[in-house]
Amino acid sequence: MNYNQALNKIHSFEKFGIRLGLERMSDLLCRLGNPQNDLKFIHVAGTNGKGSVSTMLSEIFIAEGKKTALYTSPFVISFRERMQINGDMISEEDLAKYTEAVVSAAQKMSDTPTEFEIVTAIALLYFKEQDCDIVVLEVGLGGIYDATNIIPAPLVSVITSISLDHTEYLGDTPASVAENKAGIIKENSPVVVSYGQADEVLEVIKRKAAETRSEVIICENETEFYNGKSFMYKGKRYDLSMLGVHQMQNAVTAVETASLLGAKSTSIYKGIKNARLPARAELVSRQPAVIIDGAHNLDGVSVLCRTVRRFFSDKKIISIVAMMEDKLWQESLLNIESISDVVIATSASNPRSLKAEQIGAYLHCEGFEDSRDAFKKALEYYDENSLILVCGSLYLASDLREYIIKMTK
């Protein structure tokens, strides 16, 4: 099996959709020798911020000299982003090798695993056989019934910002979403919680922690911004390489988690500074000025809009937007429109994407089904005082990122 064959085989399980539950995952990993039982984990759940927090924690423990694995989703540039060791993506050869082993085991099961379960099993087997010291494991969907929750009690659980998303699976109130995400808290395993949570969310988390006799560390909101990239927390300065008012919240969560696990202050500082993620308020071009952001739910879009207002209030904002039909897209689009001088609608290469004409009709704006045509149109509006903002979906970010980088070189 080569790399492309491995990807095709992995994606062939997509037809089994999203089916939450741990029975299939337990069966699959048992057939693979239960690799999760030989690993130490930091388990990260939340609605927004979990990718950034996971990346920061990975960088911190790399700085500590630990062989550090990172499992995250989705990807923007390459599928191999989802499995990393010490910042290096899994090789094409290793992905093919471990895919073959996992698929062989899956084909013997009466209840076929989902695509996410297959990918998670590949990652766990890979990390175990590479003898990783610590695994930063990002939850896919929810928490309690997510495939990643098959792991034993982690070193620490982390819960980032919680808001409404995937309501068809997680419930339609912050408390019900929190119930699901708090399901990663295990017996006698501490949990770090990002600041800024609703009272009803904290109540759920504290109750679950009490039931499992687990310590709760709630991060303190005592940060101070300097220039958008540096802040103070508990008397120490931290520098960020990722832009956004929300990245302070994410960084503080990583700081408290790493401190709990005994990381040195120098490693924490270095890890926070080194952490970078594509499509998180990412400046991919300076001329023309283009920022790509993958915020894809109402809370994430709201944070993006706050960031744009704070740091680019003097710019003409030309927004290229796509969104998934299963999100709270109407209100999200209105938020994006509120910060934009021009909005151009498009579609992402995902079957759940809204059609450009649907967005265009809702916002009374131009629409282009091909996102590259939308970007070319944005250039027609561009002048020296402009900023092009590509937003609304990580799938759109993936579609356009490399194209824009090559086009603007």
pLDDT in tens, 292-351: 998 878 888 988 998 899 889 999 999 999 999 887 789 999 999 999 999 999 999 888
Q: Mean pLDDT of all residues in the chain?
A: 92
Complete DSSP assignment for 209-239 = HHHTT--EEEPP---EESSSSEEEETTEEEE
SS3 279: coil
Task: Kindly tell me if the per-residue pLDDT of 225 is higher than 70.
Answer: no
The pLDDT assigned to 73 comes to 86
- The DSSP secondary-structure symbol of 190 reads -
The residue ranges of every structural domain in the chain are 3-274, 282-407
The CA-based diameter of the chain, rounded to the nearest angstrom, is 60
Write out the CATH class of domain 3-274: alpha beta
Q: Place 63 in a pLDDT band, splitting at 50, 70 and 90.
A: very high
Residue-wise pLDDT tens digits, 315-332: 999 999 999 988 778 999
Q: How far apart are CA 342 and CA 340, in angstroms?
A: 5
**Angle subtended by helix axes 329-339 and 356-363, to nearest 10:** 60
Q: How far apart are CA 322 and CA 304, in angstroms?
A: 15
Q: How far apart are CA 333 and CA 395, in angstroms?
A: 16
Is omega for the bond preceding 74 within 30 degrees of 0, making it cis? yes
Task: Kindly tell me if the per-residue pLDDT of 389 is higher than 70.
Answer: yes
For 282-407, CATH gives 3.90.190.20
User: 366-368 and 342-346: which strand pairing?
Assistant: parallel
The pLDDT assigned to 44 comes to 97
Distances (CA, A) of 331 to 39, 168, 197, 274, 328: 42, 18, 21, 34, 6
Q: Calculate mean pLDDT across residues 359-371.
A: 96
SS3 288: coil
Q: How far apart are CA 59 and CA 62, in angstroms?
A: 5
